[in-house]
Amino acid sequence: MQELCNWAIHIDPLWGYVAVFLGSLIEGESVIFIAGFLAHQGCLSLPKIILISFVGTLLADQFLYHVGRHYGNHIIDQFPSFKPRAEKAFRLLKQYDSYFILIFRFIYGIRIISPVIIGSSGVEVKRFTILNIIAAIIWSVGSCVVAYFFAHLIMEELLLFPKIFLGIVIVGGGLIFLIYKWRTR
């Protein structure tokens, strides 16, 4: 299994942790999934990827909230392609209030724009920060642990060869990313 670790993150696990941090700044479920798999294989530490993904998602959402608080309407007016997603996020915020702040990072397509909308809608800084910390804990612990145990299920129960599985995950993630980029054009 150590061979997989060396192959996957070029011997130094620091790069794996950097990838987890950068991936968690955006919609990083695919990065977290791979990190959970690598944690299961002993290449990365599960507690470290949970902590790093928590910090990354928390910082990104706090930053985007403050961008929305100060420039939200201007940004949305500046980029018309944001309008449909912004309207959906605003509608959900008005309808579900605090629950929306807790779950927006789990809703495909509006993950990045939601903190901007929340900030521009006048939600208090303290209230958003508290709810964002709770949501970041739920997301980071939940995503990392699910990825870890999914890897356990695949590796231990189905006995798939690790390199083949990792290759499928990387190629599949790349294809999903390309399809997503193609559809957004």
pLDDT tens for residues 35-69? 888 888 888 999 999 999 999 999 999 999 999 99
- pTM for this prediction: 0.76
Provide, rounded to the nearest whole percent, the portion of the chain with pLDDT above 90. Answer: 34
The residues spanned by each domain of the chain are: 2-184
**What pLDDT score was predicted for residue 171?**
78
Q: How far is CA 125 from CA 40, 129, 136, 176, in A?
A: 37, 6, 16, 35
**What pLDDT score was predicted for residue 115?**
92
The SS3 assignment for 22 reads helix
pLDDT digits (tens, 9 = 90+) for 128-181: 999 999 999 999 999 899 888 888 777 665 555 666 667 777 777 777 878 887
CB-based contact 123:89 (threshold 8 Å): no
pLDDT higher than threshold 70 for residue 104:
yes
Show the DSSP H helices in 121-161 as ranges: 125-152
In this prediction, residue 84 has a pLDDT band, given cuts at 50, 70 and 90, of confident
pLDDT higher than threshold 60 for residue 2:
no
